[in-house]
Amino acid sequence: MNKINLEKPNIELLIKKGFKCLDLHTHSNFSDGSSTPEEIVKIAEKNDLIISITDHNEIEGVKKAIEINKERVIPGIEITSRNSKDILVYFYNFKDLEDFYNKYIKENKIHAGIGFDLKCLKLSMKSILNYLKNYKCLKVIPHPFALKPKTNYRYFKKRSQFLKKMDAIEVLQCIQTRKKTIKSIGWAESIHKPMLGGSDSHTSETIGSVITLVKVKNISQVLDQIKKGKTIVYGLELPLYKKLQIFLKLGFKNIHLK
């Protein structure tokens, strides 16, 4: 099995082979998604997925998901800095995520930005990473080649001191293009960073369309395996017409192709 598999994942078969199937990049209606945490957890349970709700600078969605089924949910958040740069952060327990949010995120939100970055912060990326040093967590660069004035790729490449602090790179998600997938894989390989895949789902139908596989006995071991680079990525990007359907479903409020 390859490290990266650009094909539709057969989750049932992969689980029979001993893998845990992870979709660690989803959004609920507490930020820019259309699904409730209850709906997301229900889909995870039906498809035997471990998930994370990574809302933009929000934790209420993942909190509710953990209350429903903590055995299927990794505490996570997508943090958007004041210059619209994103990182995904996963915590080993919700208590740490909640503490981080209450101390540094809650009172530092500014007016909504454009596109998917609904709630930018007053904080710089330097400040965010400095605050995260106080917590045991996994830090991931998502969608490095998103269509923005300065992509996550360009931003972190020019700031090696920040790049060194990141634990992994999300190389595949369903709403990016194949060209960007290939570029993301090449970059991650060139700097020897572990690779993840996540749907970046904003609607229920795409949850589990891109997954990361790990072999662990329980959910508490997931983040350690990712840090060690013991991951396999499965999934496909959506065709353009499917992306357009999703944007229409979201009422155009989040249009900003990645």
Q: Where are the domains of the chain?
A: 4-249
- Supply 176's token pair: 């990016």
- Fold annotation for 4-249: TIM Barrel (3.20.20)
- What does the alpha-carbon distance between residue 73 and residue 131 come to, in Å, rounded to a whole number? 23
DSSP state for residue 21 in the 8-state scheme: E
What pLDDT sits at residue 240? Answer: 82
What pLDDT sits at residue 181? Answer: 96
Would you say 127 and 100 are in contact if contact means Cβ atoms under 8 Å apart? Answer: no
Q: Judge if pTM exceeds 0.85.
A: yes
Residue ranges for the chain with pLDDT beneath 50:
113-117, 252-258
What pLDDT sits at residue 255? Answer: 43
What pLDDT sits at residue 258? Answer: 42
Predicted confidence (pLDDT) per residue in 216-247, tens digit: 999 999 999 999 999 999 999 988 877 777 77
- What does the alpha-carbon distance between residue 171 and residue 173 come to, in Å, rounded to a whole number? 7
- What does the alpha-carbon distance between residue 22 and residue 7 come to, in Å, rounded to a whole number? 16
